[in-house]
Amino acid sequence: MANLHGCSNCPITGEEKCLLEETGKCPVEETAKLMGKKWIILILRELFAGKRRFNELLKSLDGISPGVLSGRLDEMEEKGIVNRKVYAEVPIRVEYSLTEKGEDLKNAVASLTEWWMKWR
């Protein structure tokens, strides 16, 4: 029997039951909604190296505007991927780091990097 994608099994995992039928959401589509947004993977790349302040991220991501960076960081924080820590100092210091959920994306990004290296 075909699933909602028209396949007899999950096209990604090969399992008999499609996760779209089980959860009502396609994991690939849901992942692409966030990861496919411009700058998200590059922000992850910077945070895989460790904690960063806003201006450090801004300088390392050539071409990103402060508003877009702020929006992407807010989105990533809402999704539980990024921690935002505010220090009560003058001037205020804010550091961004990855949560466990964010760190868990490292292997996925590494796989994409390996794919690019193989096929570039």
State the chain's mean pLDDT as an integer.
Answer: 90
- Stretch 23-39: mean pLDDT, rounded? 87
Q: Pick the more confident residue, 77 or 23.
A: 77
- Give pLDDT, residue 4: 57
pLDDT score recorded for residue 2: 53
pLDDT band at 28 (very low <50, low <70, confident <90, very high): confident
pTM of the model: 0.85
Could you give the CA distance from residue 89 to residue 91 in angstroms, rounded to a whole number?
A: 5
**82 secondary structure, DSSP code:** E
SS3 per residue for the chain: CCCCCCCCCCCCCCCCCCHHHHHCCCHHHHHHHHHCCCCHHHHHHHHHCCCEEHHHHHHHCCCCCHHHHHHHHHHHHHCCCEEEEEECCCCCEEEEEECHHHHCCHHHHHHHHHHHHHHC
pLDDT above 90 covers what percent of the chain?
Answer: 68
CATH number of 19-119: 1.10.10.10
Domains of the chain, by residue range, sit at 19-119
